[in-house]
């Protein structure tokens, strides 16, 4: 794996600059002052649970400070947050999820949004008490999310609380419409990603050129695979091209890890190296870092030299089809 992955990243500066989720458990007094002084807002915070005992267990950090007083302190000084709850069944769902959302809602406008995301287990992070949620557990969590979202719409005019696309997928439920997600502020956390893509495709219809009858492969994780047919239909209508979704199993972290952002380069290479029938492959930009390295240290340009088709990396299929290829 690429070297940076061996270091736990919990830097509030990366949270502000790139939208990385941080726990804020490692802040020193001067960090608190710096965040307020330089107005580093909004920050992206992994809350998971507001019960201190549960949160410490989830974070494997017995010294973690209580998150609600910390967020309140920041909120009183003008710092806002997007937050997430990674749902671990039997640990922070049910009454614990209700408590967490109640506490966060009580912090007022400083908490801009909350996303509820189902836990993903890797081959390296299994724990006897941690498992993936069942369909019924996902549905129960979404019912709680919907209750708080309805309250927020009535009080504040926006849902505030959102389930990740993968939570709807595992619950076997339809995604909300695009309008539900507002400005898609947590789309890179898998919240509203599919609806965002559909919105972008529709907006860019007149800008697509030169793709009619081309064969294009879309590489993604297994989580997005079942959600892609409507996106592909929209792309086909807009471009006249023929699209094929390649939903790849994660050969590095294990099949339980389904997000596209954690795909290793070698899995992409194995899927594409013999596909001489494709004119282009679209790859998820979130699967590489700023140095264009995949999780397994394979570099995107190196990957491109071993493939029979050009590749394009993008967070947005519409931009990718109008942009430059990574390499021929």
Which of 136, 164, 191 terminates a domain? The answer is 191
| CATH code, 128 | 3.80.30.10
Do both 77 and 138 map to the same domain? yes
Do both 145 and 226 map to the same domain? no
Nearest to 208 by CA among 323, 310, 309: 323
- What's the CA gap between 254 and 213, in Å, rounded? 35
Question: With pLDDT > 70 as the criterion, what percentage of the chain qualifies?
Answer: 92
Provide the pLDDT confidence category of residue 228 given band limits of 50, 70 and 90: confident
Per-residue pLDDT at 142 exceeds 80: yes
The stretch 251-264 carries a mean pLDDT of: 85
Do both 140 and 231 map to the same domain? no
Residue 42 lies in a domain: yes
Cβ atoms of 47 and 104 within 8 Å: the answer is yes
Do both 165 and 102 map to the same domain? yes
Which of 191, 219, 241 terminates a domain? The answer is 191
The region of weakest confidence among 6-10, 98-102, 130-134, 282-286 is 6-10
Per-residue pLDDT at 327 exceeds 70: no
Provide the pLDDT confidence category of residue 121 given band limits of 50, 70 and 90: low
Per-residue pLDDT at 291 exceeds 50: yes
Do both 201 and 291 map to the same domain? yes
Tokens 């509030």 identify what position?
A: 12
Identify the domain containing residue 296 by its residue range. Answer: 197-322
Do both 10 and 65 map to the same domain? yes
The pLDDT, as a whole number, for residue 14 is: 82
Do both 40 and 76 map to the same domain? yes
Residue 227 lies in a domain: yes
- What's the CA gap between 123 and 1, in Å, rounded? 13
The stretch 45-70 carries a mean pLDDT of: 95
Which of 191, 214, 240 terminates a domain? The answer is 191
The region of weakest confidence among 36-50, 52-66, 207-221 is 207-221
The pLDDT, as a whole number, for residue 126 is: 60
The number of folded domains in the chain is 2
Do both 51 and 178 map to the same domain? yes
Do both 36 and 175 map to the same domain? yes
Do both 219 and 281 map to the same domain? yes
Do both 203 and 315 map to the same domain? yes
Per-residue pLDDT at 206 exceeds 80: no
Backbone angles phi, psi at 215, to 5 degrees: -105, 120
The pTM assigned to this predicted structure is 0.82
Residue 327 lies in a domain: no
Do both 9 and 123 map to the same domain? yes
The pLDDT, as a whole number, for residue 7 is: 39
Q: If you average pLDDT over every residue of the chain, what do you get?
A: 89
Residue 9 lies in a domain: yes
The stretch 20-40 carries a mean pLDDT of: 93
Cβ contacts of 202-208, under 8 Å, gap ≥ 24: 202/234, 202/238, 203/318, 204/238, 204/318, 204/319, 204/321, 204/322, 205/238, 207/318, 207/322, 208/238, 208/239, 208/318, 208/321, 208/322
Residue 328 lies in a domain: no
| CATH code, 298 | 3.40.50
């Amino acid at each position: 794996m690429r070297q940076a992955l061996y270091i736990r990243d919990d830097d509030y500066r990366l949270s502000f600059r790139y939208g990385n989720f941080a726990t804020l458990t490692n802040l020193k007094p001067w960090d608190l002052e710096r965040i307020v002084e330089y107005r580093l807002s909004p920050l992206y915070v992994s809350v998971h649970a507001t019960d201190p005992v549960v949160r410490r267990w989830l974070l494997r950090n017995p010294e973690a400070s209580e998150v609600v007083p910390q967020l309140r302190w920041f909120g009183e000084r003008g710092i806002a947050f997007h937050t997430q709850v990674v749902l671990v069944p039997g640990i922070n769902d049910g009454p614990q999820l209700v408590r967490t959302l109640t506490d966060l809602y009580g912090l007022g406008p400083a908490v801009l949004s909350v996303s509820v995301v189902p836990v993903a287990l890797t081959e390296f992070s299994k724990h006897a008490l941690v498992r993936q949620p069942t369909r019924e557990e996902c549905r129960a969590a979404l019912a709680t999310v919907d209750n708080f979202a309805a309250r927020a719409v009535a009080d504040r005019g926006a849902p505030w609380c959102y389930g990740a696309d993968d939570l709807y997928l595992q619950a076997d439920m339809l995604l909300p419409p695009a309008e539900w997600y507002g400005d898609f502020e947590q789309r890179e956390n898998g919240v509203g990603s599919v609806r965002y893509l559909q919105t972008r495709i529709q907006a860019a219809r007149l800008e697509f050129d030169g793709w009619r009858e081309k064969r294009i492969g879309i590489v993604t994780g297994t989580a997005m695979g079942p959600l892609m047919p409507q996106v592909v239909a929209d792309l086909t209508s807009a471009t006249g091209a023929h699209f094929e979704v390649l939903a790849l199993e994660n050969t590095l972290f294990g099949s339980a890890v389904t997000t596209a952002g954690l795909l290793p380069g070698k899995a992409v290479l194995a899927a594409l190296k013999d596909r001489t029938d494709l004119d282009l492959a679209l790859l998820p930009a979130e699967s590489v870092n700023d140095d264009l390295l995949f999780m397994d240290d394979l570099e995107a340009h190196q990957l491109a030299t071993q493939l029979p088709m050009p590749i394009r990396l993008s967070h947005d299929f519409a931009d990718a089809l109008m942009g430059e290829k990574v390499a021929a």
